[in-house]
Amino acid sequence: MNHLLGQRAQDRLKQLAECSASEFGVTRLPFTKEHHKANALLKGWMEEAGLTVHVDDAGTLIGRYDAGDNAPTLLMGSHQDSVKQGGSYDGIMGIVLPIIALDALNRQGGKLPYSVEILAFADEEGVRFPTALVGPRALAGTLDERVIDRKDKNGITLRHALKDFGVNPDNIGLLKRDASKILGFIETHIEQGPVLEHEDVPLGVVSAISGIERHQLTFTGQAAHAGTVPMHLRKDALTAAAEVIQEAEKLAIKIPDLLATVGQLDVTPNVVNAIPGNVSMSIELRSPIDEVREKAGEILQVFARDTALLRGLDCDIKRTYSQSATECDHSLQLAITRAIVATQCRVHQLPSGATHDASAMSDLTGVAMLFVRCKKGISHNPAEYASDEDMGLAIDALISLLINIRS
């Protein structure tokens, strides 16, 4: 195991963690000054590794090793952005490790019979804008360009943010790649869960990636004095929301392969002595089986509307986002499996409950993922951690994969 390369990865991820809008944890949203700072570091390391670097019109930073016009291209990479006060590894590790692997090959004078591109996607988390995966969807030709005019909380459109970032979103439709020239997309990512640690293995190969959908609900009742309105005369938006939250949890407990989360809840007027008149909330559903997820979404929409009706409230509910489940490409999984074996590690195959850029890239080409052990399974949290040793093994596996994937 190449401890030195693992240490280099750890050091680079520490530098990237400084590109953050928050002191506590990492907050690096797309098309911000923190994104610019991170891209500058990544660009420098890509050029050191002998790659030619550019930013495409979806804001994806791309480092390319060119093996000549007729050679196919292997795509690698992940996302540079984080959640708010997140960890130092989610996404960005999948950019740093392949750069170090290609740099090591370059220093050994290794020549590959195919080109490689390392993609640093701008926005996978969908925290700043009510959309995500614009970069991979542009490459796959599946982007609904209407999302470019969606706004962040400050009323800035993604279109404006892209232009401000120095790219031209009007050309985003030209980014679609020719799938016949692509070998596949391999994403390296911290597991974000406890399975590899529980299995006591440093690396894993992903079998499938869960699908996801998000609904935005707004209950509108009547804000009123908490001391003067009898219980049966209230139009309390928060107690209605509470019923839906309970129902979502009950459904997910009852149905195997379904996860339901209410992560966002805004109450108005949100004061101790007023009955809440307005509540907006998110419901997120995940499942490796699309039919299960979609049915659950339908059930919860009906339940929310019925709850509002019975309580004399208005209810607006719409599905704002969805991503299908993804089966990972078997030949690419085999290539990752062989690479893990080459590092003398036991192979563990597992599904991914988290979604990834690979989910969207699967509309362009076969995809597979190399997972790296995550300490205590903690992620989307400043305590997120991957060890030098495990990252060193992941880099060794990537070097082996790059050398052998076409043999």
| 157 vs 261 by CB, closer to Mn ion | 261
| Residue 184's binding partner out of ligand HGY, Mn ion, none, with CB under 5 to 8 Å set by partner kind | none
Site string for ligand HGY, 192-231 (x = CB under 6 A): ----------------------------------------
Give me the amino acid identity at 258: L
| 275 vs 354 by CB, closer to ligand HGY | 354
Told to check if 191 binds ligand HGY by CB under 6 A, we report no
Distance of CA 296 to the CA centre of its chain: 22
Query: In the complex, what is the shortest distance from the CB of residue 330 to ligand HGY, in angstroms, rounded to a whole number?
Result: 23
When binding is defined by CB under 6 A, the residue of 73, 307, 323, 355 that contacts ligand HGY is 355
Residues 125-164 binding ligand HGY (CB under 6 A) are 125
Told to check if 124 binds ligand HGY by CB under 6 A, we report yes
Strand partners, 287: 211
Spatial distance between the Cα atoms of 164 and 169, rounded to a whole number of angstroms:
10
| 2 vs 355 by CB, closer to ligand HGY | 355
Reduced DSSP (H G I as helix, E B as strand, rest coil) percent helix, strand, coil of the chain, to 5: 40, 25, 35
Query: In the complex, what is the shortest distance from the CB of residue 46 to Mn ion, in angstroms, rounded to a whole number?
Result: 20
By Cβ distance, which residue is nearest to ligand HGY? 354
Told to check if 88 binds ligand HGY by CB under 6 A, we report no
| Residue 355's binding partner out of ligand HGY, Mn ion, none, with CB under 5 to 8 Å set by partner kind | ligand HGY
Spatial distance between the Cα atoms of 396 and 152, rounded to a whole number of angstroms:
40
Query: In the complex, what is the shortest distance from the CB of residue 209 to ligand HGY, in angstroms, rounded to a whole number?
Result: 9
| 7 vs 261 by CB, closer to ligand HGY | 261
Reported as type and span, the H/E element at residue 153 is none
Among candidates 328, 358, 332, 347, which has minimal Cα distance to 94?
358
| 117 vs 124 by CB, closer to ligand HGY | 124
Told to check if 187 binds Mn ion by CB under 5 A, we report no
With CB under 6 A as the rule, give the number of residues binding ligand HGY: 4
| 88 vs 355 by CB, closer to ligand HGY | 355
Angle, helix 388-404 to helix 93-107, in steps of 10 degrees: 60
Which residues, including other chains, have CB under 8 Å from residue 371's CB and lie 6 or more apart?
A: 189, 190, 191, 196, 203, 204, 205, 206, 350, 352
Told to check if 354 binds ligand HGY by CB under 6 A, we report yes
Residues 83-112 binding Mn ion (CB under 5 A) are 90-91
| Residue 57's binding partner out of ligand HGY, Mn ion, none, with CB under 5 to 8 Å set by partner kind | none
Which residues, including other chains, have CB under 8 Å from residue 147's CB and lie 6 or more apart?
A: 129, 131, 134, 158
Spatial distance between the Cα atoms of 140 and 222, rounded to a whole number of angstroms:
46
Classified as helix, coil or strand, 331 is helix
Give me the amino acid identity at 381: N
Strand partners, 368: 186
Give me the amino acid identity at 71: A
Binding site for ligand HGY (CB under 6 A): 124-125, 354-355
Binding site for Mn ion (CB under 5 A): 90-91
